[in-house]
Structure 1
């Protein structure tokens, strides 16, 4: 229960304190003395409510010591420290409070009653100045931008390539966090936004609860999270931000994160996002919790299923089926480049699912002579080549063009002769824009739930993972980003007839 405290109205420090406030800084000395004669001082215990949302109380409150939270529907939307003013909306409009005020720790407040602000008490000149500043405060409150982004609870960062399910897992993280009265924000355009600064121009506030969203939707950057559940693409990422490799930019991002008093950081993406997250962690205090969620079509995060891999393979296999039908009809040989910068998971499984004739992947050796012999008498063929096939060799020799074209050139140099018309197709990026399928949406829910549990347990520097149906977590330093594929599956994908087409692998294949 709040207790009234006695204080000296003649204390010179009180006048100094009040003049630091924007509403009293320019009024005359006599009027300030009159104002002090109306003031009362109260003490609140930690957790005690000052006023409740919907309550009627025409009073201005000034924080003397301690901290207060302003809450809407149980969610903190602002933190007030010594010298901050609140209650001005009800004071001016004589209307119910739009939010709840609660002491975050032992707090003392100055009360200024509404009957103070009449001309019989203080001069008209001072009243004009006070009401002008109160109006400015109300406008600021209604806009809410500065207050909402003042302190960040959980901040999500998405960067690099897009995969189906980025938006899904973002939505589920918000849903699970809100269940435990935690709040979620996301960088508008990945690491780039963190380098540029904070606030509504570079951050977004995500709200799952519909009632709370309707109360805050007028504030710039507030987004209703449920609509993201099955949305295509990745709304809050940018093309991989190469500038984040610079230490100078990493330091800017770390500074902005600390200025917002961020408690938790969650990176969402593939190997590029993971590396950026780990670099950032070296510049942040250890008590700032840090996590990673794997979202990548090519499943290049070893030790877990990755959000996007299921929808990616489903769509990739369907595209291959279309090429298979056209190849049969027109007696063609299609050499198709597909995703697979490292392990080639997407290219391999798209090939297997659609019944294409060969998967050409990074890390494996192929007998080009035997492949040309196998193609000689075929009526139609579809070969899937992962984009990372012999990437280092192509780069070192300044060879441009797609991996499909490079593999075709290898066949020609080995003397390819075939009655089929050979057509090379470059990597089709529309796979990235696929809708997340049920498997990826389910995976997103599982990873989001596990993430929330780890946050609540006070854990840090972990990646929630799902593998063979089991849920666990990996330390970020244990994560490999060169996810290999099964040699047995690569052999299974060879339908050219000669098992010798694939001779051995260049690297260790798990």
Structure 2
């Protein structure tokens, strides 16, 4: 294997640049040329590739987003589009591909392998919703961003004696809400993986009020529903002044944490190692702090589940 390519696909996540850097520099260490594919699968189909030097990936480990850009690609969802992508890889004499992204990106990576092209996936998404890995690149940075925002919101909630509902991202997974809520002492955390009773939440608010606490924070994962609607219902039932904040895409940006930089570096280097070993159709995973490669099929057969022990602990500690 003399030439490999790397692309980022799907939603951006802090740490993607650190992973790109690791792929390029690990490749160079082993005497392999690494080409960057710009704008994900769209760029792959269009042949938008560039040989990346060591200098090209200098000074990016601390930057959020992705220097290779990212884009959705409807054409790649077709067999004809995927064949065009493989033709471009062959045309540029690429021997293997590293795809950094989430679940949809991995589905595409697996289909490239089915067409005979060796592909390795690196999980990069703030949602932490990829089965088969304890953590995804970008998750730690996202929850720290959310924590910082909630700390600021709590100051205002305290000053005005209000209940604040904060809606966070995560798609269909509740990991961001769960981890950030526990870390920030939220009074209630709503995640799609656990049923919630609005009356129970109201009772907790009343209990807090009775013991003299005049402000509360309720975290809602976007997979549960609209934070605005939930906030309106709470206000209607309690009569308490309630405000809603939807954090939105601020959660995707920012300089990656040390954890994400190290995780991305380990995963990017492992992806190169797997390709050099002749492996394909695999996803890089971290399990019990060990970085390994697991088959896409095995990962796809699993179902992502948050640590519900953390959910129970958050309830205990927020009495």
Determine the C-alpha separation between the residues in 1 that align with 2:190 and 2:172.
12
- 1:456 equivalent in structure 2: 276
**Is the contact made by 1:351 and 1:493 (CA closer than 8 Å) also made in structure 2?**
yes
1:409, distance to aligned residue in structure 2 (A): 4.5
| Correspondent of 1:326 among 142, 149, 156 | 156
Within-5 A mapping of 1:136-147:
none
2:313 corresponds to 1:492: yes
Does the residue aligned with 2:111 lie in a helix, a strand or coil? helix
CA–CA separation in structure 2 for the residues paired with 1:464 and 1:268: 10
Per chain length, whose mean CA-contact separation is higher, i.e. which structure has more relative contact order (CA < 8 Å, sep 6+)?
2
- Whether the 8 Å contact between 2:42 and 2:71 is mirrored in structure 1 is no
RMSD: 2.1
- Check whether the contact 1:166–1:233 (CA below 8 A) recurs between aligned residues: yes
**Is the alpha carbon distance of 1:235 and 1:301 closer, same or farther for their aligned partners in structure 2, counting shifts above 3 Å?**
same
Q: Output one character per residue of 1:399-425: Cα deviation in whole Å (capped at 9) or x when no partner.
A: xxxx2123234546xx51143x21111
1:441 positional shift: 1.0
- Pick one of 90, 93, 103 that aligns with 1:258: 90
Q: Deviations over 1:15-67 (max 9, x none)?
A: xxxxxxxxxxxxxxxxxxxxxxxxxxxxxxxxxxxxxxxxxxxxxxxxxxxxx
Paired with 1:314 and 1:465, the residues of 2 have a C-alpha distance of: 22
Structure 1 residue 290 corresponds to structure 2 residue 119:
yes
Q: Which residue of 2 aligns with 1:38?
A: none
Structure 1 152/257 Cα, relative in aligned 2: closer, same or farther at 3 Å? farther
DSSP-derived class of the 2:173 partner: coil
| TM-score, normalised relative to structure 1 | 0.58
Offset from partner CA, 1:402-457 (integer Å, 9 cap, x none):
x2123234546xx51143x2111123211211111111111112112222221221
For structure 2, the 5+ residue unaligned runs are: none
Q: Does the 8 Å CA contact 2:165/2:218 hold for their aligned counterparts?
A: yes
Aligned partner of 1:352 in structure 2 is 182
Find the partner of 2:105 among 256, 270, 273.
Answer: 273
Which residue of structure 2 aligns with residue 157 of structure 1? 7
**In the alignment, what sits opposite 2:224?**
389
1-side partners of 2:150 and 2:80: how far apart?
A: 44
* Match of residue 26 from structure 1: none
Instruction: Indicate conservation of the 8 Å contact 1:160/1:272, yes or no.
Output: yes
Question: How far apart are residue 257 of structure 1 and its match?
Answer: 2.2
2:35 aligns with: 185
Q: 2:195 aligns to what SS in structure 1?
A: strand
1:446 aligns with 2:266: yes
Q: Out of 198, 202, 213, which is 1:372 matched to?
A: 202
Contact 1:155-1:187 within 8 A present in 2 as well: yes
Unpaired segments ≥5 residues, structure 1:
1-150, 211-223, 391-402, 498-510
Write the deviation string for residues 273-301 of structure 1: whole angstroms up to 9, x where unpaired.
Answer: 1122123333x22xx32100011112111
Deviations 1:156-207 (A, max 9, x none): 1211111100011100111111011101112110011122x22xxx112211
Which residue in 2 is equivalent to 1:430?
250
Bigger Cα displacement from structure 2, 463-472 vs 290-299: 463-472
> Secondary structure in 2 aligned to 1:325?
helix
2:99–2:106 contact (8 Å) kept in structure 1: yes
Where do 4+ consecutive residues of structure 1 move more than 3 Å? Answer: 409-412
After superposition, give the CA deviation of every residue in 1:114-152 in whole Å (9 maximum; x if it has no partner). xxxxxxxxxxxxxxxxxxxxxxxxxxxxxxxxxxxxx98
1:115: which partner in 2?
none
